[in-house]
Amino acid sequence: MEFKRAGVIGAGAWGTALAQVASCAGLDVLLQAREADVVDSIRARRVNEAFLPGVTLSERISVTSELADLADCDVILAVPPAQHMRSTLTAFAAHHRADVPVVLCSKGIERGSLKLMTDVLAETLPAAPIAVLSGPSFAGEVARGLPSAVTLACADEGLGEALMAALSAPAFRPYLATDLIGAEVGGAIKNVLAIACGMSEGKGLGRSAHAAIITRGFAEMTRLGVALGGQAETVAGLCGLGDLVLTCSSPQSRNMSLGLALGQGQTVEQALAGKRSVAEGYESAPAVRELATKMGVDMPISLAVADLLSGQTTVDQVIDNLLSRPLRAERD
């Protein structure tokens, strides 16, 4: 199984970085962008000024605004925001060939349906072979060729090995897994938890509190992953724990920077004002809250973030409520 031409749907920072990775791996890449200024910027200056400034893109990357132009690609990387995944793949369906694998690279839970992106893909492109790419990776670092490692999950190990080989670049190292659910849950929940870590940082609660949020947040992530049918071992890997540590540890993370602003006293509206890039944790938090309630999974940090973002509570109330919870065994 050989891949020569990759199509990347979505030219935000991460989609553009993955286009750069695929080109460094030896693939010809067609990057699809909805925004006319992004198309113009890449064509004229080889730079995505709107979402990934300062990175000169490979000459092996071409850009288009039309999903139809991706019809001849032999692998698709789907990178629209999670809440737009369904509409994007529905629009692409008429141009997709049944044997062309789709690698899901966006992280989140669909609001309303409470479905993972693999479920959305199965419903919109039912004939598509599915893989999930997720892990600790800031777009700017990946695009500049700094070392990173990710999980590539695919139920078909043969296809997974072929994709792993095709997308492996000198500084970009995929590790193969077969647990799609575990790979997805980690990526979806860590964004919500990063908002909590940013909030703690903004309030000046210290490194001890920061470490506690990461650790107890990881317990929440694992509980939900297992409840949905994933494996705890997968969540403990790059796509779960690894991504959680990165996203919760640097204001480069859009989600942590959102929490940082909230902790410093900004409103949600002020913190999000003027941002073109999506903070996926903000979009997914209500779905995480609803899914945890539906599944009967205890996720106090994630639910507190969702309540805060929806205006049902304040930062100070979140802190008080979490610290006043009944004492319990750590394994619970």
- Is 203 a known active-site residue? no
Q: What is the DSSP code (8-state) at residue 72?
A: G
Residues 110 and 286: their CA atoms lie apart, in Å, by 10
Pairing of strands 130-134, 148-153: antiparallel
| Distances in whole angstroms, Cα of residue 154 to Cα of each of 27, 118, 235 | 20, 11, 15
Q: In what order do the strands lie in the sheet with 5-9?
A: 61-64, 28-32, 5-9, 75-78, 102-104, 130-134, 148-153, 172-177
Which of 4, 107, 115, 190 does the annotation list as catalytic? Answer: 190
Give me the DSSP letters along 143-170. HTT--EEEEEE-SSHHHHHHHHHHH-BT
Contact at 8 Å (CB) between 244 and 217?
A: yes
CB atoms within 10 A of CB 315: 18
Q: How far apart are CA 324 and CA 292, in angstroms?
A: 21
- Catalytic annotation, residues: 190
